[in-house]
Amino acid sequence: FSPPILFRDIRELGKRQAHTAYGALVDVPNTPGCVDMLVAGTSCVDYSNLNNEKKTIEQKGESGQTFRGMMDWIKKAQPPIVILENVVGA
């Protein structure tokens, strides 16, 4: 597995540059047709059954920030394939 770019935090993709999983700062591709596929998962800390201080997506906790960051980038880049990971009952 050797993707050309693997980003560390989808919340950074709204910026001109973002950090890769390996720590490099690179330009963010964000125009239609710039990528073939997005595979992502949002943080589930705000929705976890183990969390006594749950937040909704509108409260902009960590989970809401990752989801909104992902959706903002999807609207810009319009990848033809989007795969979202979700854990049931975490």
How far is 32 from 25, CA to CA, in rounded Å?
21
β 37-41/81-85 pair status: parallel
Query: Residues with catalytic annotation?
Result: 44
Q: How far apart are CA 70 and CA 78, in angstroms?
A: 11
Longest dimension (CA), the chain: 42
What band does 83 get if pLDDT is binned at 50, 70 and 90?
very high
Spatial CA neighbour of 26 closest among 36, 12, 37: 12
pLDDT digits (tens, 9 = 90+) for 34-45: 888 888 877 777
Q: What is the pLDDT of residue 1?
A: 61
pLDDT at site 82: 93
